[in-house]
Amino acid sequence: MLSFQATIYTLCLLASAGCASLLVRSYRETRAKLLLWSALCFVLLAFNNLFVVIDLLVLPSVDFVPFRHLASLAAVSVLLFGFIWETE
């Protein structure tokens, strides 16, 4: 049986992956650039959540914290870049 933390981490991974897939699908239909930047952000956030699941549940002896921080920094940077790029 999964623990409460494992359930929460898995649901966060599924939610971010689901949001990413919906944003990618919407971008393919409309070609709106802001949807592209948002989709890339959520893809990177899904990777971040995947690293959390691997780090805390699958391989607790291996330290994935740098990868988690890098993925979240990349996600926020991509979204910030997209916002700045679209306002010009």
The average confidence (pLDDT) of the chain is 92
Total count of domains within the chain: 1
Stretch (H or E) spanning 21: helix 4-30
**Amino acid 88: pLDDT:** 62
What's the confidence (pLDDT) of residue 3? Answer: 87
Distance CA 28, CA 51 (A): 27
pTM above 0.85, yes or no: yes
Longest dimension (CA), the chain: 51
Q: What is the pLDDT of residues 37-71, one digit of tens each?
A: 999 999 999 999 999 999 888 888 889 899 999 99
Would you state the pLDDT for residue 2? 67
Average pLDDT over residues 22-35: 95
- The pair of structure tokens assigned to 69 is 């921080």
Domain limits at 19?
Answer: 10-87
